Structure 1
Amino acid sequence: MTEPLAAPPKPLNPARSGVFRRLVQNPLGLAALIILAVVVLAGIVGPLVSPFAPNTADLVNALGAPGTAGHLLGTDSAGRDVFSRLLVGAQSTLLAAALAAIVALVVGLPAGLMAGYFGGWFDAVASWCTNVLMSLPAIIILLAASAALGRSVWISMTVFGVLMSPGIFRLTRTSVQAVRGELYVDAARVAGLSTASIIGRHILFVVRAPLIIQTSIVCGIAIAIQAALEFLGLGDPLTPTWGVMLNEGFINIYSSPILAVWPGVAISLTVGSFVVLGNALRDALEDSPKVKRARPIKLRAPQTESISVVDLAESDHLLSVSGLGVGYPQEDGSTKIVVSDVSFHVDRGEVLGIVGESGSGKSQTAFSILGLLPAEAEITRGNITFDGIPLVSAGQGPTGGHRLSQGRLAQLRGKRIAYIPQEPMSNLDPNFTIGYQLVRPLTKVLGLSKADARARALELLTIVGITNPQRTFDAYPHEVSGGMAQRVLIAGAVSCNPDLLIADEPTTALDVTVQAEVLDLLRDLQARFHMGVVLVTHNFGVVADLCDRVVVMQNGRVVESGDVRSILRNPQERYTQTLLSAMLEGKTPMTMLTMPVPDSDVKVGLS
């Protein structure tokens, strides 16, 4: 029995689909877009269509009124055509603003991504440099740069871009720190995606909206700062910019007040349009409907042979964990041990259950194998070996703990070691379709073409019991139920033919009927692909249903281990007996207590 897919959303009006359409449907966004389009167009074609050369003087018509001698907006104190200078000045003004924004992004964005994602010494050094830059008075630095390097708008805007980069850095760093701990980021790592791929797609995609707003604000501020510097007389008078024109207008404010109006209006409209457009574009991106038109794909019949594992090399143990210890440093210098001296092994085609109550160290043990422990955690002792490949070396790490080989793990995760989490909805990125999240590991890890990866993803969705794989493939995570999402994660876990599957309480978040379906599915896939499976659970019923051997953990230690039949029939440890006695099977249901109500025949049930 398979779980039905949630009802599809109503078709969207085609006029509302697409970022650009949503942008132009916003009145403020449309107005800002039109104004900026006019300014950009003026900057591109202005030098070609201007009626006069911008620096050609005509002293006879100096300070001429609008319309005088063919000058549409009049002339300045040197008799230069104001309209021509306004058109040509748009180009240099916009290019200068773009230069400042590009410099700020080039300096601040990569540093913010690395500091937010990796943390550590780079975060400390980058944050210190950012604080130093933010403490400097920007206008003084710009004045000093102009005095030392010359009156060049390009030099001034480059320096200004560097001074604005701390804003980009801190915004990016904060946004990345907010999402780097999300479960779907860990899921991408386990799927075998590289760090660059995770940062470039899952992380950068999340921080795009605030970056768009910040960039538009930087462009607006750059235009204002450029105009302010040139208003103070620090601009190049031979370069026609709006700031130079504004300076000219204020010099002649009493003789021809209208000279200050034209550049002032141009600067105000452009700066305001950048800010408004940034907010409108952010809204258009963030409010985009999480559906897309399904593309017809010819679904081939399931070919389970194509994804089966054949000719596996025989070895004593697929996974071996010996004397594992995990601890967390405390403020007083001590280390809190959460896993101590844990040892077990898993063979090919075998299902090992790790059972215990919450806080017993089950998940910490599983995360140690996957290399997903928090940054502050230390593997204090022990060895982990996968198919003869040491994952935890015996040498001491920089913090005194054993060194975890992230390089080897990166080569194994998503290829030979797969992971099924306990919270399906949190391990799917809400910004991408289910199909995209299944296809990307297949193209990156196995090197398949997009067409072959799509066909294989649809095949996997069919194998895990999804009746309409095409519909699920095109859906976003919020459009499917929890049971369906868990099936999707199982499909993703087995997509790259893993030798070892680690399932961390895969049925905890599901209702009872869906739990049974998922357990049946795991049993079928394990037998079909001959995988070794580590099943982390607190439910002895799940252990009895799926596992060949079981490890019982309490307070970070292994208290008992053995084959499932022996442990269930004759547990030796008191803790194991307590866990078994807590199961509901075989218990007599409690009856409802009743008590008479005075002067009434009504019975009131008490729970």
Structure 2
Amino acid sequence: MSLLSDGGPAAAAAPSSSVAPTAVPPRAGVARRFLRKPVAVASVAWLLLVAVLAAAAPLLTSASPTASSITNALAPFGGDSPLGTDGLGRDVLAQLLYGARTSLVGALIVVAVALVLGLPAGVLAGYYRGRFDAAASWVANLVMAQPAIIILLVVLAQFGRSTELAMLVFGVVIAPGVFRLVRASIIAVRGELYVDAARVAGLSDPRIMRRHVLPVVVAPTIIQMSQVLGIAIVLQAGLEFIGLGSANQASWGGMLNDAFAKIYAAPNLLLLPGLAIVVTVTACSLVGNGLRDVLGVGATPPVRRRSAVRAVGPVVEDGRPSSGTAPAPDDALLRVEGLRVAYPEPDGGEGEVVHGVSLTIRRGEVHGLVGESGSGKSQTAFAVLGLLPPQAHTSATTLTFDGGDLRGISRRGMNQLRGRRIGYIPQEPMSNLDPSFRIGSQLTEPMRHHLGLSKAEAKAKAIQLLDRVGIVDPARVFDSYPHQISGGMAQRVLIAGALSCDPDLLIADEPTTALDVTVQAEVLDLVRDLQAERDLGVLLVTHDFGVVADLCDTVTVMRAGEVVESAAAAQLFADPQHEYTRSLLAATLEGGPARAALTTPAGGTR
């Protein structure tokens, strides 16, 4: 609307530099830190005082705010009218008290309508994106492009003068600002790795939003609403001042209107309603500033390691497997044939990044997926997990897990497999733990969701798992936040989480990349031991042939999205068949000849 582009109410409500879209979620001790800000505390006290006085107006004065007495017009302070009367003989104290009620109710209507319309739409659009996001964004832009005052005049002309109706219209006007803030906050957090980790754990979308996404929205939304509250009070007073509000109720704007008409006879009538509006609106702004400081909004957002993804099941190209597909081994746990992944390109076509990948993982087998960066290893793993971005087009001749077809599987069906029967160990362990929750909370939630364990049972199993993965003091780590543990311990926590629901298949995506050499060896030993004792099928995504030689039974080598060689690990290291595999093995330093001395541009050595 025109008010938006000209710095009007919705513009003020939209995200600004002080309200970062990736706000840090509220932390413990918010109330304590807020109480250390005397200006903010005084502002809250003033707002509470205004609310109490408005609610108790009938108890504080017996005068009617709308009853006029011309013979008692412009009466001085004292007597039956402690603050005197206005130009129509109405009691000023009664008008202030009842006017506070009108202003607060009108402001709350604006806030409520803006939240009801903007918050759910922003959450759904930011989390699911797609068509709803496009449609909701188009509607928000359309509303913001219209002149707000014209819409208000049309509505009031059609339905009559009403303060409540006018505030409802302004709530609709401001809702796009709420929508944009919430949507931006959700988009910023939904691509974080700890959200992907929750998705891989098999948690439902509502549960992920409630625990990991919505807490990020709370802080900026609360701050924005404190600002909107003050804006709404000014808008309500302005409407009453120009005569567009309800004629049968007291308001601060109506008092200003009457005082302006008597400005030469009784200029003091402007003082009290003017001060009430200024102090109340300033208090709303100062409360918002205080909340911004204690909630950490505007702090540097966490670095995003990977673009946002959402779970989508692979789609079949022709609807049925080809007749030429080889029969599956009896102990096949995961079978992939002819997997292709493509992304849209600017010219309208599609660029394929995975070209007909095929592999089979048996129970109790560690299958290494090897290749240089960009060879399509992670794309293949994410396609199996159903975690590719929504724009990806995935097809496969065969894609089965334990005999069940994964092609076209529903989001709900994939959620029941991930975490419960398919575990996932990601790289970058610290980024896959939500900093807002303790380690124990993040470990027990999948167990309670998938296994139906009680809180006590889930805690006992989580501590047992932490002990099993080699953490010395599992009870302390259980009660710790992610920033209180090391990277190696975080990786062990993720391994414990991946095994918490006793999966059959474990997909490990570069599980030791971010760790030092000593911790890498410990983690690899742990994966080997757990695989042997639980008879797990393991898909190990890596580019490290040392890890492959240490762990894997079978190796598939990928290059530029294609499988170039697949063989038993011993056979591949002893007699690699493909030139690319030989070049990768030759690039390793172990056992190779000493490197020649480096030469300077002038030809000398150094």
TM-score of the superposed pair, with normalisation by structure 1: 0.86
How far, CA to CA, are the matches of 2:429 and 2:298 in structure 1? 23
Residues 55, 101 of structure 2: 8 Å contact kept? yes
Match of 1:108 among 118, 122, 125: 118
What residue number does 2:22 align with? none
How far, CA to CA, are the matches of 2:551 and 2:172 in structure 1? 59
How far, CA to CA, are the matches of 1:38 and 1:340 in structure 2? 68
In structure 2, give the amino acid aligned to 1:195.
D
Q: Residue 339 in 1 paired to residue 367 in 2?
A: no
How far, CA to CA, are the matches of 1:48 and 1:461 in structure 2? 62
Shift in alpha-carbon separation, 1:241–1:445, aligned structure 2, 3 A: farther
Q: Residue 351 in 1 paired to residue 363 in 2?
A: no
Residues 360, 554 of structure 1: 8 Å contact kept? yes
Shift in alpha-carbon separation, 1:377–1:90, aligned structure 2, 3 A: same
What residue number does 2:317 align with? none
How far, CA to CA, are the matches of 2:249 and 2:330 in structure 1? 76
Shift in alpha-carbon separation, 1:17–1:344, aligned structure 2, 3 A: closer
In structure 2, give the amino acid aligned to 1:355.
V
Match of 2:394 among 341, 358, 379: 379
Residues 204, 412 of structure 2: 8 Å contact kept? no
| 1:179-219 CA distance string (max 9 Å, x none) | 22211111111011111122222122112222122211221
Residues 369, 558 of structure 2: 8 Å contact kept? yes
How far, CA to CA, are the matches of 2:598 and 2:150 in structure 1? 81
Match of 1:210 among 207, 220, 225: 220
Alignment of 1:38-77 (within 5 A): 38-67=49-78, 69-77=79-87
Match of 2:196 among 160, 177, 186: 186
What residue number does 2:539 align with? 534
In structure 1, give the amino acid aligned to 2:536.
M
Q: Which runs of 5+ in 2 are unaligned?
A: 1-26, 300-328
Residues 219, 297 of structure 2: 8 Å contact kept? no
What residue number does 1:456 align with? 461
Match of 1:368 among 383, 386, 408: 383
Shift in alpha-carbon separation, 1:107–1:48, aligned structure 2, 3 A: same
Match of 2:163 among 153, 156, 172: 153
Match of 2:441 among 419, 423, 436: 436
Shift in alpha-carbon separation, 1:586–1:340, aligned structure 2, 3 A: same
Shift in Å, 1:111: 0.9
| 1:216-261 CA distance string (max 9 Å, x none) | 1221111111111110112223212222222222222222112121
| 1:563-592 CA distance string (max 9 Å, x none) | 111111111111111111222222355598
Shift in alpha-carbon separation, 1:494–1:162, aligned structure 2, 3 A: same
| 1:439-482 CA distance string (max 9 Å, x none) | 22222222222222222222221111111122222222222221
Shift in Å, 1:121: 1.4
What residue number does 2:129 align with? 119
What residue number does 1:524 align with? 529
Q: Residue 79 in 1 paired to residue 94 in 2?
A: no
What residue number does 1:513 align with? 518
| 1:15-54 CA distance string (max 9 Å, x none) | x972112112112211211111111111222222225333
Shift in alpha-carbon separation, 1:286–1:593, aligned structure 2, 3 A: closer
Shift in alpha-carbon separation, 1:548–1:175, aligned structure 2, 3 A: same
Shift in alpha-carbon separation, 1:557–1:277, aligned structure 2, 3 A: same
In structure 2, give the amino acid aligned to 1:25.
R
In structure 1, give the amino acid aligned to 2:404.
I
In structure 1, give the amino acid aligned to 2:554.
R
In structure 1, give the amino acid aligned to 2:443.
L
Match of 2:506 among 496, 501, 508: 501
Q: What's the secondary structure of 1:534's corresponding residue?
A: strand
In structure 1, give the amino acid aligned to 2:90.
R
In structure 2, give the amino acid aligned to 1:150.
G
How far, CA to CA, are the matches of 1:451 and 1:73 in structure 2? 63
| 1:319-347 CA distance string (max 9 Å, x none) | 10011111112122332111111111111
In structure 2, give the amino acid aligned to 1:409.
M
What residue number does 1:246 align with? 256
What residue number does 1:8 align with? none
In structure 1, give the amino acid aligned to 2:510.
E
What residue number does 1:413 align with? 418
What residue number does 1:565 align with? 570
How far, CA to CA, are the matches of 1:480 and 1:606 in structure 2? 45
Match of 1:277 among 265, 276, 287: 287
Q: Residue 139 in 1 paired to residue 156 in 2?
A: no
Q: What's the secondary structure of 2:343's corresponding residue?
A: strand
Residues 325, 342 of structure 1: 8 Å contact kept? yes
Shift in alpha-carbon separation, 1:485–1:98, aligned structure 2, 3 A: same
In structure 2, give the amino acid aligned to 1:352.
H
Match of 2:344 among 329, 336, 344: 329
Residues 352, 551 of structure 1: 8 Å contact kept? yes
Q: What's the secondary structure of 1:318's corresponding residue?
A: strand
In structure 1, give the amino acid aligned to 2:75.
G
Alignment of 1:286-297 (within 5 A): 286=296
In structure 2, give the amino acid aligned to 1:367.
F
In structure 1, give the amino acid aligned to 2:263.
I
Q: Residue 130 in 1 paired to residue 130 in 2?
A: no
What residue number does 2:12 align with? none
Alignment of 1:163-178 (within 5 A): 163-178=173-188
Shift in Å, 1:76: 1.4
What residue number does 2:98 align with? 88
What residue number does 1:23 align with? 34
Residues 379, 404 of structure 1: 8 Å contact kept? no
Q: What's the secondary structure of 2:332's corresponding residue?
A: coil
How far, CA to CA, are the matches of 1:116 and 1:139 in structure 2? 30
What residue number does 1:492 align with? 497
Residues 50, 88 of structure 1: 8 Å contact kept? no
Shift in Å, 1:60: 3.6
CA RMSD of aligned residues (A): 2.3
> What is the percentage of aligned positions where both structures have the same residue?
56
Shift in alpha-carbon separation, 1:382–1:466, aligned structure 2, 3 A: same
How far, CA to CA, are the matches of 1:406 and 1:320 in structure 2? 20
Bigger shift: 142-151 or 156-165?
142-151
What residue number does 2:17 align with? none
TM-score of the superposed pair, with normalisation by structure 2: 0.86
How far, CA to CA, are the matches of 1:383 and 1:17 in structure 2? 49
Shift in Å, 1:422: 0.9
What residue number does 2:548 align with? 543
| 1:146-175 CA distance string (max 9 Å, x none) | 222122211111111011101001111122
Shift in Å, 1:85: 2.0
Shift in Å, 1:404: 5.7
What residue number does 1:292 align with? none
Q: What's the secondary structure of 1:360's corresponding residue?
A: coil
Bigger shift: 86-95 or 354-363?
86-95
How far, CA to CA, are the matches of 1:588 and 1:74 in structure 2? 101
Match of 1:225 among 203, 227, 235: 235
Residues 212, 282 of structure 1: 8 Å contact kept? no
How many residues matched? 548
How far, CA to CA, are the matches of 2:473 and 2:246 in structure 1? 67
How far, CA to CA, are the matches of 2:298 and 2:267 in structure 1? 47
How far, CA to CA, are the matches of 2:386 and 2:523 in structure 1? 26
Residues 329, 335 of structure 1: 8 Å contact kept? yes
Q: Which runs of 5+ in 1 are unaligned?
A: 1-15, 290-313, 393-402, 596-604
Q: What's the secondary structure of 1:207's corresponding residue?
A: helix
How far, CA to CA, are the matches of 1:271 and 1:198 in structure 2? 37
What residue number does 1:198 align with? 208
What residue number does 1:309 align with? none
